[in-house]
Amino acid sequence: MSARRTRLISLESALWCLGLGGLWMSAAFLPSLDSRKPARLWAAWIGAIAVVSILTGIFLYFYKAWRRVPAVPNRRQYVLWVGFETLAVLMFLALGISGLARS
């Protein structure tokens, strides 16, 4: 048995759970887009916290993935795959931000 204590859940997993659960909760309590009702402020805050935790989880995932590069045996394939993942996520975020800017 190793001397290191194993964590029950990692920080990255906790951020994903917080983010996805927060998005679900804010979607359940926010009014629809065509409604004239004002949004509940606490539901909007839950959504904002969820988005921040998801972005932090994404950052941690890629930070840990790029830090593993020297330790993997198939370095070339790993760098290609993580580079593709990073590029895809950056493009997805850029499309999302440009979509928000248009509305």
**Residue ranges of domains in the chain:** 10-67, 72-103
* CA atoms of 40 and 31, how far apart (whole Å): 8
- Dihedral-angle region of residue 48 (phi above 0 means left; psi in -120 to 50 means alpha; beta otherwise): alpha
Which residue is associated with the tokens 């909007």? 44
**Is there a contact between 53 and 18 (Cβ–Cβ < 8 Å)?**
yes
Condensed to tens digits (0 to 9), the pLDDT of residues 25-71 reads 888 877 777 778 777 787 778 888 888 898 898 999 999 999 999 99
Residue 1 structure tokens:
């048995």
Q: Name which of 39, 16, 36, 17 is nearest 28 in CA terms.
A: 39
pLDDT of residue 6: 65
Global confidence as pTM: 0.72
